[in-house]
Amino acid sequence: MLFRRKNKVALLGSSHITALKRFVDSSDYTGSFKFTFFGGPGQSMRLLKAEDGKLSSNDKNLRDSFLKTSGNITNEINPEKYKSFYLHGLVSGSMLVQTIIKMDTYIKEGGFLSNALIEETFEKFIHGTLLHTTLEKLRQVTDKQAYVSLAPLPSEFITKTQKIYRFDDDRIDTCKQLLGMFEACLSRYLEKFGAQYIAQPDKSITRGIFTINDYMTGSKPLNDAVLKSQSQHDLIHANALYGELLVKALQKAI
């Protein structure tokens, strides 16, 4: 079911929320979602706290970032004002791909990884992410519906610049299988929190575990003060075109 015009969504995340914010703030967006963005760069979302039924922070930089990304509306998150919550970019797509490639390399070199060990590794990975700490705090203040998507998988071009991401095409199937196992593990984890996983749209993926570079080119940083550094070479952040795909995927999920 689609949101009615007045329904509101709080979108929490790292610098990766910029892809969605750029699309929603553009004239191309005509949807029924009323988003309020709450973004914190780097690892700053770890400084969130659940207090008095709200999510806030003692850290001035994070409060200032919330105020700026919300459009000067608020520097704290009051669950009473939103129908649902969307957490984006709190699991690193690049770190996930590194983990998958390391597993695949171990297998290719003759090592054995049981499904149980793979799942255990992915569970530990998830518990070490910003998603885990943020979702735990969110559930301390509200049980409203939550949706989760990862930071995008790194650009296909990253294989040309960083050795750790390089691998032969004959390894694509195994890496895709490992990514699928991670997503299944994540979905089970999210069920415990009453949250739903939104996968990266298939049309944006190439070679199994990378993002087509058209969805990365021209990505911009979270802080408008440094927009002059608009990058054509950012290989881990997505652009507004990718943000549009995610908004449509969220709409289908609701």
* Domain total in the chain: 1
Residue 32: CB atoms within 10 Å: 11
Q: What is the DSSP letter of 15?
A: G
* Tokens 């994540």 sit on residue: 186
Kindly give, in sequence order, each residue whose CB lies less than 8 Å from that of residue 152, ignoring residues fewer than 6 positions away.
16, 19, 93, 200, 204, 211, 215, 216, 236, 237, 238, 242
- 234 pLDDT band, cuts 50/70/90, is confident
pTM comes to 0.93
Q: How many alpha carbons lie under 13 Å from residue 90 in its C-beta half-sphere?
A: 29
134 located within any domain: yes
- What's the pLDDT tens digit per position in 126-176? 999 999 999 999 999 999 999 999 999 999 999 999 999 988 889 999 999
Write down the pLDDT at residue 223.
66
54 located within any domain: yes
157 located within any domain: yes
Tell me which residue range forms the domain holding 228: 8-253
89 located within any domain: yes
3 located within any domain: no
Burial (Cβ within 10 Å: 0-12, 13-18, ≥19) of residue 72: exposed
Share of the chain above pLDDT 70, in %: 93
Write down the pLDDT at residue 137.
98
The CATH number linked to 19 is 3.40.50
Coil vs helix vs strand at 235:
coil
2 located within any domain: no
